[in-house]
Amino acid sequence: MSQADVSRFVTRALDDANLRRRLEESPDQAFQGFNLSDEEKNAIRSADEQRLRQIGLDPMTARSWMAFHDARAMAPDRPDAPGDLR
């Protein structure tokens, strides 16, 4: 496991719509260049705060990633709202 790579990936993905789109369309390509285990990749894709914290992501970043994904459910009339990773 690489806690640093988990944090680096999620932090970058929060700011990079292209990376989020690749994660949705081609996860293997999105994860290239990051030393992540299958468990870490699955936790990132799940956006489950508890799973993210279990793999070592700090609580604030884990909550941000989870909330980012929940935004679509909270604002279905806003297709431009964060949460484009479904």
Along the 86 residues of the chain, how does pLDDT read in single tens digits?
578 999 999 999 999 989 988 998 999 999 999 999 999 999 999 999 999 999 999 999 999 898 877 755 555 555 555 554 44
Tell me which residue of 60, 28, 25 sits closest to 41, measured CA to CA: 28
Six token digits for residue 74: 């909270």
Give yes or no for a contact between 66 and 48, defined as CB atoms under 8 angstroms apart. Answer: yes
Number of domains in the chain: 1
Question: Is residue 34 in a domain?
Answer: yes
Report the pLDDT value the prediction gives residue 67, as an integer from 0 to 100: 85
Expressed as residue numbers, the domain containing 56 is 3-74
43 phi and psi, to 5 degrees? -65, -40
Evaluate whether residue 38 is within a structural domain.
Answer: yes
At 76 the pLDDT is: 55
Please give the model's pTM, rounded to 2 decimal places: 0.78
